[in-house]
Amino acid sequence: MCEHCGCVGDCTRITPTETSNNNNNALTETCAFCNGRTTYEEWRDVLPIGLLCETCYDDLTVTCSGCGDEGFLKSHMLHDAITDEYFCRSCMREEFSVCNDCGRVVRNNNAYFTGNDDTICEQCLERHYANCSCCGGLYSADTMHYNPITNEHVCKNCRVPYIREHHAQVTNSFYGTSNDGLYLGLELEVDRGQGNNEAVAEQLHDVAGDLVYFQNDGSVETGFEIISNPMTLTYWQDHARKHYKRMSKVLNNCGYASHNTSTCGLHIHASCAGLGEFCEDRYITIGRILAFMQKFEKELFTFSRRSSNNIRTWARFKRYLAAHEEDDMRAAEIVAKYYDDTRYQALNLMNRHTIEFRFNKGTLNVDTITASLELIHAIILFARSYTLKEGVNKLGDFTDFIDIAYTNAEEHGIAYSECLREYAIKRRLYIPLKEQVVNA
């Protein structure tokens, strides 16, 4: 047995050599890295490189921060550049992982695992990742679709196509708080776009979030329909209006049109719950609305911007009530009888939870959309506030109605913008008071 290294038989690992230092009996060996000579007492056997001198050993090897074992070559260790720690392969396999984002070494109990089976550290989780609001999976936020209104992310696996099939089932969200149950919703048809409809819908979603969704519509040629979730008029004025302005800019930039087509409409839905507490009350309110629309059919046609042929096709004004009807209950009975008559009329009564005002032509002018919403709101508020005898039949002209609409809204704690009045003036449906005095 070799007295220096302990091997059995003839020792081939070292060659005894006389040294020139004071210890003439010491054995020396050549360092596998620097080729220098060192004494036996200073040798360090490091796999797989071989024997190293003490200086090279200190320079080339490290201690594993996981298990504490010494003598590992740096080049064979996994290095955490942030903490400047090294880990051997055994510790890496058993206790550690590498963040796929930043390369940092993390203990498995402090690591997070994504829906793509990637490992990430806590720092990258907070900076770059989010949970899908549908499936709960963890994904890079850059690859997800973000709703700025609800502050939710949806992963690609859960995201459905932006433009759905016509009449696809949708669970609505309600925006704003209504004390009387009245919510309004928009269906805006757009056509003649020069881009990919799905890509444009994605841009619109990025602007408005889940306030709107999209459907194919057989009445338009190459476009689609933008449908809002139900909202209060106040929510429209304070929030949704600015989103529609941004969407209008996107649509104009992509070559879409709504007013300058023969195919597009602006349909406004009103919740039945906002027409009255009980079914009978709602029929009465609808009867009053029909009486109003019969009395001011010409004015509403002018307001709509539609052609005669277009309105006959898509939003025909039908006369269900006798002229100057004053009996609310008789009007309600007629409404109940013809509630599901046909869809393509100025007031569609075929929906289960809403009534639909279909007479407006489509537009990308947000002030015109605001005027249209305020008109529908004003008609409903007027119908809820006055009986047939004291309401519609007492109105002189459309100017009287506009003036009453602003006063009535104010009494109910709602502030209309000037869009309704200015649009009525533009369409020559409203004469301001000062002009009335001059013409008197």
CA-based nearest residue to 210, from 294, 146, 140 = 146
Angle separating helix axes 366-385 and 241-253, nearest 10 degrees = 140
89 C-beta neighbours (distance < 10 Å), count = 13
Q: 175 pairs with which residues across the strands? A: 231
- Domain 184-439 bears CATH identifier 3.10.450: no
Q: What's the pLDDT score for residue 320? A: 87
Phi, psi of 91 (to 5 degrees): -65, -35
Q: What's the pLDDT score for residue 24? A: 44
Phi/psi-derived region of residue 290, left when phi > 0, alpha when psi is between -120 and 50, beta in every other case: alpha
DSSP string, 193-209: -SS-HHHHHHHHHHHHG
Task: Say if residue 48 is preceded by a cis peptide, omega within 30 of 0.
Answer: yes
Q: What's the pLDDT score for residue 52? A: 81
Q: Are strands 44-46 and 50-52 parallel, antiparallel or unpaired?
A: antiparallel
Q: Give the residues of the chain that fall short of pLDDT 50.
A: 1-25, 434, 437-438
- Distance between CA atoms of residues 188 and 305, nearest Å: 15
From residue 257, give the alpha-carbon distance in Å to each of 209, 213, 260, 371, 419: 21, 18, 6, 19, 21
In which residue are the tokens 């700025």 written? 148
How distant is the alpha carbon of residue 260 from its chain centre?
Answer: 29
- Distance between CA atoms of residues 423 and 301, nearest Å: 14
Sequence-separated (6 or more) residues with CB below 8 Å from residue 170: 164, 213, 227
394 C-beta neighbours (distance < 10 Å), count = 12
- Look at the pTM and tell me if it is higher than 0.85: no
Quick check: 170 and 190 in contact, CB under 8 A?
no
Residue ranges of domains in the chain: 1-53, 63-159, 184-439
